[in-house]
Amino acid sequence: METFMQNYFETVFGDLGRDCLNDRLKRREMVQYFSTAITGCAREFYAFFGGENKSYEVTCRNFVRATLRYHNDCKRRNNDVCLMGKYHNLLYVTMKLVFDWSLQDSGTVAALLDELYACESTFERLFLGAIFGTSAPHFLAGWKSDFLDKEENIHALVFYLDHATNSNSEYFDGRRNHRFIDVPLESCGNAPPVRVVIQMGAAEVLMILLRFGARIALDSSSSNPIESLLERLNEYNRKYPYELVTCLKLVLRAVPSIFFLKDERFSVGCNHQRKIMLEKYGDILEDHLIPSSRCGLKPVELKHLCRCKIRDTLWNNFQLPFGIQGLPLPEKMKKVFRFIG
């Protein structure tokens, strides 16, 4: 496979126009071309060495390594700056092929993600398709998703979340490290994916992100996603949309308790949280959408605090969500630590 790719880059790819892969249809045609090549090379590998499943895995891995090597060579000749155009879109062709062939080598997949981040400092082309579907990213960021529909975008996101977790991947933005799942989305005001999903009320995607340990930041330097969600629920005059209610329930399982940012209209101190809850969101509390133990009216349940602490420990060790299964606990108790709706 590596010999084939080297010949292709030297004799074919170099002669293609710089913008030849700007169109999604052209990228899909190249995906199909390389997929056929992988099939042929894998069969040849199988004929010599045996092991059909292994042959496809090895061939796909060699393909990824060859494209990464070519991309790096081109970048190095340009003073370590990505040439963009077809040279960069080749990475997205590779991402689609890696997903289609379900490559299991997390180290190789992580190297592909590292290369993308080095060029773009974001993974929004993976996240936006899963959050908004295939059409919206064209209006938000000027490109179209390489995956077929929203369902495939979600499956691809889970596939890459799994590999990024297995490889303990972190990405530095100049100030601090982010996990793959928390890298800000440039086209959404540099907000992390979980904040965008909460604002959208996309419960299905929110559950996936929380299962993999997305962090819900509640600091004073930015808007509080829980407050934003409660404000939206208040707008419906107690006729709450199912999706927003589901998002609220999922978020309440991810944090020990609700935290409200400082509001000058309310006294600061231990009564601050309670006053905001009662005066601003009393209807939501009265309708039992928020347990009184999660908003400062009653002590938080010990079971919930333990759940949050265990999940936090698993997150620190890159063990969410699959590390839950390895906990020395009865199966019934393991469900307490999962986001299963």
Distance of alpha carbon 210 from alpha carbon 308, whole angstroms: 12
Taking 50 as the pLDDT cut, the residues of the chain under it are: 220-221, 340-341
Strand partners, 192: none
What was the pLDDT predicted at 1?
A: 78
What was the pLDDT predicted at 217?
A: 73
DSSP 223: -
The pTM for the full model equals: 0.90
Q: Give the burial class of 242: count Cβ atoms within 10 A of its Cβ; 0-12 exposed, 13-18 middle, 19 or more buried.
A: exposed
Half-sphere exposure of residue 235: CA atoms within 13 angstroms, side-chain side? 8
3-state secondary structure of 135: coil
What is the radius of gyration, based on Cα positions, of the chain? 23
Distance of alpha carbon 180 from alpha carbon 273, whole angstroms: 32
What backbone torsions phi and psi does residue 313 show, to the nearest 5 degrees? -65, -40
Strand partners, 172: 177
Domain boundaries along the sequence of the chain: 1-120, 191-306
What was the pLDDT predicted at 45?
A: 66
What was the pLDDT predicted at 341?
A: 38
What was the pLDDT predicted at 225?
A: 85
What was the pLDDT predicted at 72?
A: 95
Q: Give the burial class of 89: count Cβ atoms within 10 A of its Cβ; 0-12 exposed, 13-18 middle, 19 or more buried.
A: buried
Distance of alpha carbon 21 from alpha carbon 69, whole angstroms: 19
What backbone torsions phi and psi does residue 8 show, to the nearest 5 degrees? -65, -45
Q: Show Cβ contacts of residue 159 under 8 Å, excluding neighbours closer than 6 positions.
A: 99, 102
- Condensed to tens digits (0 to 9), the pLDDT of residues 270-312 reads 566 778 888 888 899 999 999 989 888 889 999 899 989 999 9
- Condensed to tens digits (0 to 9), the pLDDT of residues 59-82 reads 999 999 999 999 999 999 999 999
Distance of alpha carbon 304 from alpha carbon 291, whole angstroms: 12
Beta strands in the chain (DSSP E): 170-172, 177-179
Q: Give the burial class of 85: count Cβ atoms within 10 A of its Cβ; 0-12 exposed, 13-18 middle, 19 or more buried.
A: middle
